[in-house]
Amino acid sequence: MIQAPSSSHNNGSISLAQAIKAALGVAAERGERVFVVGGVVRDALMGRPVGEHDLDIVVEGQGIPFGHRLAEVLNCAVRVHEPFLTAKLIAPFGVVASDAYPQLDEVDIATAREEIYEKPGALPTVKPATIDKDLWRRDFSVNAIALPLDVYDGIRQKGFDATQVAAAAVDPCSGVPDIQSSTLRVLHPRSFIDDPTRLFRAVRYLVRLSFHFDMETLAGFLEAVKSGALATLSPRRVWNEVLVALDEEATSEVLQEFLQRGLFSNLPIISTDDPAWLFESMQRLDLLRSGLGQEMFVEAGRVMLLAGLLRDGRDDIARALHEGNRVLQRVGTILEADRKPEGLRTIPDAAAAYCIHCTEDLRKLLQSCLNQRPA
């Protein structure tokens, strides 16, 4: 049996190396295979920076019991989501402190699974499956590539090499050749209809990775938009996809692609009548990103998008997004901020107001807010 390391006072996080070592130990104890899947493998194959501040693993077996056992080893709390057979380990980790970098605050564990969509736009039902079947249920071939966790760890320690990653990859969906040809390809003809949020995800990948659709994927994308698949999504789910776009480096470009490709045809979060002012404001906000920090940038972008709805008289859509009356009142203040700048108190609100109105008074207010921010 694996023994849990003795408890020690630390900052509550855990090193990536510690988490991987513990996960491999639990996998050996339980006789289960574990993998890293998706974006980490894709980015390693592309020579892009590989995010190492979180660990997402897929267990070919029983992910929730695996998560409980790993939580015992790492002496931490665990949250489970039974319908999707997933578990999340949460800091603080009561293990012997390690100064190794990078440090993690959580570990995500998923069961290799199949998904069944009862109707378009609905959340799927799931059941355990092999890693190959798990990869086939994913959105795009470039995200349907896995590496055994021990192989990933060995390559990671030496420095990621695309050739080594490709040689060790579990790739039943031919994602590696698609990456090499910069092609975004869905794995099933009804993929966009079964889950229309993939329409938004596809556009984000096109912009972020500078990829292109293969012909069948493009045809499926256009058909899903034309047939009204987006109408099966609630306003909140569409809004969530828009908010995710605020985390992209090329935020304005992604939002423009959403609009131009018809993703707001059912719910016009950005109007086709006069979108220029909003995109110009978003571009100004992008220039402030490094000074604001990502969290405040996202919040400022959120209130600017809501301001666009109120400016266009689409209070009905703004309320359907379930952001709450208090938030909409804040947005109303931002729209009036060129006349009453003293009503702004937070950095995101000041940033949004400056980017919308671009007046000298608001620039000074924003600078004052930034100067007062704790270091």
Give pLDDT tens digits for 289-335: 999 999 999 999 999 999 999 999 999 999 999 999 999 999 999 99
pLDDT band at 96 (very low <50, low <70, confident <90, very high): low
Give pLDDT tens digits for 185-240: 999 989 999 899 999 999 999 999 999 999 999 999 999 999 999 999 999 999 99
Is the bond into 189 cis (omega within 30 degrees of 0)?
Answer: no
pLDDT higher than 80, residue 243: yes
Separation between Cα atoms, residue 115 and residue 288, nearest integer Å: 41
Q: What's residue 123's pLDDT? A: 76
Separation between Cα atoms, residue 138 and residue 279, nearest integer Å: 32
- Going from the C-alpha of 162 to that of each of 141, 142, 156, 167, the distances in angstroms are 17, 14, 11, 9
pLDDT band at 99 (very low <50, low <70, confident <90, very high): low
Tokens of 75: 């002496």
Which is higher by pLDDT, 49 or 45?
45
Which is higher by pLDDT, 319 or 93?
319
Q: What's residue 273's pLDDT? A: 83
Q: What's residue 119's pLDDT? A: 77
| % of the chain surpassing 90 pLDDT | 74
User: Please, is 223 exposed, middle or buried when counting C-beta atoms within 10 Å of its C-beta (0-12, 13-18, 19+)?
Assistant: middle
DSSP 186: B
Give pLDDT tens digits for 110-122: 999 998 877 776 7
Q: Which residues contact 326 (CB under 8 A, 6 or more apart)?
A: none
pLDDT higher than 50, residue 9: no
- State the chain's mean pLDDT as an integer: 90
Q: What's residue 98's pLDDT? A: 61
pLDDT higher than 80, residue 10: no
pLDDT band at 1 (very low <50, low <70, confident <90, very high): very low
| Torsion angles phi and psi, residue 282, rounded to 5 | -65, -35
Give pLDDT tens digits for 125-159: 889 999 999 999 999 999 999 999 999 999 988 88
Q: What's residue 233's pLDDT? A: 95
251-260 vs 276-287: helix crossing angle, rounded to 10: 160
Q: What's residue 94's pLDDT? A: 78
Q: What's residue 186's pLDDT? A: 97
Domains and CATH numbers, the chain: 14-180 (3.30.460.10), 271-372 (no CATH)
Separation between Cα atoms, residue 122 and residue 71, nearest integer Å: 32
pLDDT higher than 70, residue 286: yes
What SS3 class is residue 319?
helix
Tokens of 223: 């058909």
Q: What's residue 140's pLDDT? A: 97
pLDDT higher than 60, residue 11: no
Residue (of 267, 260, 195, 205) closest to 236 by Cα position: 267
What SS3 class is residue 244?
helix
Q: What's residue 341's pLDDT? A: 83
Q: Which residue intervals of the chain are DSSP H helices?
A: 16-30, 39-46, 63-74, 131-136, 149-158, 162-168, 175-180, 191-194, 197-209, 215-227, 235-245, 251-260, 276-287, 289-292, 294-311, 315-320, 325-335, 347-357, 360-372
